[in-house]
Amino acid sequence: VGILPESGYNGGQTQSKIALQYIRWLEQKLSRTLVHKLNGGEHKVNVDGKTFLLDAFDPVENRAYEVCSL
């Protein structure tokens, strides 16, 4: 039996609250703005014909960030 979310399925990507908190903390530590869901949208990377959305991207260092929260 499946359980539907209260707001239903909207097809959108979600990012955990803890991931966003970490990214905001990282921005303060680095003293610069990263590209993320709340700032320009999640950065897209194409690898072998597949598109991946990153939790955050640092255009200064060309570095990708993915947050794993269990």
Q: What is the pLDDT of residue 6?
A: 64
**Is 42 within a domain?**
yes
Distance CA 52, CA 24 (A): 21
In a domain, 12, yes or no: no
Each residue's pLDDT tens digit, 14-60: 668 888 999 999 999 999 999 998 888 889 999 999 999 999 999 99
Q: What is the pLDDT at residue 39? A: 87
Which structural domain range is residue 29 located in? 17-65
Q: Judge whether 59 lies within some domain.
A: yes
* Helix, strand counts (H, E) of the chain: 1, 5
Amino acid 10: pLDDT: 55
**CB-based burial label for 12 (10 Å; 0-12, 13-18, 19+):** exposed
- Number of compact structural domains in the chain: 1
What is the model's pLDDT at position 61? 96
Total-model pTM: 0.72
Give, in degrees to the nearest 5, the angle at Cα 40 between 10 and 37: 45
Instruction: Identify the three-state secondary structure at position 43.
Output: coil
